[in-house]
Amino acid sequence: MQRLLGCGLLAVCTVSVGLAPCFAGPPFFTDDPVPVDYGHNEFYVFGTLDHAGGVNAIAGPAIEYNRGIAPDTQFHVVLPYAWNAPNRGATASGAGDVEVGIKCRFLNLDDGGLQVGVFPMAELGTGSARRGLGNGQTWYRLPLWVQKSVGAWTFDGGGGVIVNPAPGMYDASFGGAQAQYTFNPRWTLGVELFRQNALAAGQPGYTLLNVGGYLNFSQRFSLLFSASGSVAGARHTVAYLGLYWTWASHG
């Protein structure tokens, strides 16, 4: 039975309140190094799908919350409800692995022209591995992300390693690159290549071509969407759909 490792597209989007949102992370795999502004908040309601090997690994409904807890530093948590739905056989559902992390930006040149940061995350073993809803033990993602902005274009890239001590699971590397173009304050579209190396004997590596974007209804409310498929390695079909809110609060 395929294990559901987290929720797939669970990196964080980051924006500043008062500007048109510009995202990395959801709905993409490649994240950015930009933390939520100090005292600001982000909240998502979303769902993800990963179809591979005759199994649909679904997270939804899921919620994500991010808060700027210090200058250049944010707290991150994701609480998913998980589904393991094979093409044949019974569907299992229940709590998935809870994700917690801290994003820290340590380089910011030319007021956002070039930025670099780290975003270590722990995937707590709260989902049942026996039922295909989680990893069974806590595991870790340790990435470094870089961003460069040029006019209406934003480029993000980087990668890192997964450290997974659960029986039968591998430590593995991952990495990606994406480009986004902001057409106007309402619409941003992007394309991404993302590589995930083998996670287990039954979960070989794959490379995804992902296309998605954001429809900004206001400065504080957006629709996020993406869809992707494998261009190398194991066959995966992946999708993300979510709603996003942001607001400022202090204290």
The per-residue pLDDT for range 104-159, each reduced to its tens digit, is 999 999 876 899 999 999 999 999 999 999 999 999 999 999 999 999 999 999 99
Least confident range of 17-26, 91-100, 147-156:
17-26
pLDDT(13) > 70? no
Over range 57-82, report the average pLDDT. Answer: 97
Tokens of 197: 């190396």
Domains and CATH numbers, the chain: 40-248 (2.40.128.130)
- Identify the pLDDT of residue 108: 93
The residues that bridge with 68 in the sheet, in sequence order, are: 38, 74
- Identify the pLDDT of residue 219: 92
Please give the backbone phi and psi of residue 58, each rounded to the nearest 5 degrees, phi first: -120, 140
Per residue in 171-206, pLDDT (tens digit) is 999 999 999 999 999 999 999 999 999 999 888 999
pLDDT(21) > 70? no
Tokens of 123: 């995937």
- Identify the pLDDT of residue 111: 73
| Secondary structure letter of residue 37 according to DSSP | P
pLDDT(9) > 50? no
Task: Record the pTM.
Answer: 0.89
pLDDT band at 17 (very low <50, low <70, confident <90, very high): very low
Considering only residues 89 and 30, tell me which one the structure prediction assigns the higher pLDDT.
Answer: 30
Given its phi and psi angles, is residue 192 left (phi above 0), alpha (psi -120 to 50 degrees) or beta? Answer: beta
Tokens of 126: 């709260």
Average pLDDT, the chain: 90
Q: Which of 195, 226, 199 is nearest to 210 (CA)?
A: 226
Per residue in 166-175, pLDDT (tens digit) is 999 999 999 9
Instruction: Check if the beta carbon of residue 56 is closer than 8 Å to that of residue 85.
Output: yes
Instruction: Check if the beta carbon of residue 35 is closer than 8 Å to that of residue 57.
Output: no
What distances in angstroms separate CA 241 from CA 24, 62, 104, 196, one per listed residue?
14, 11, 26, 21
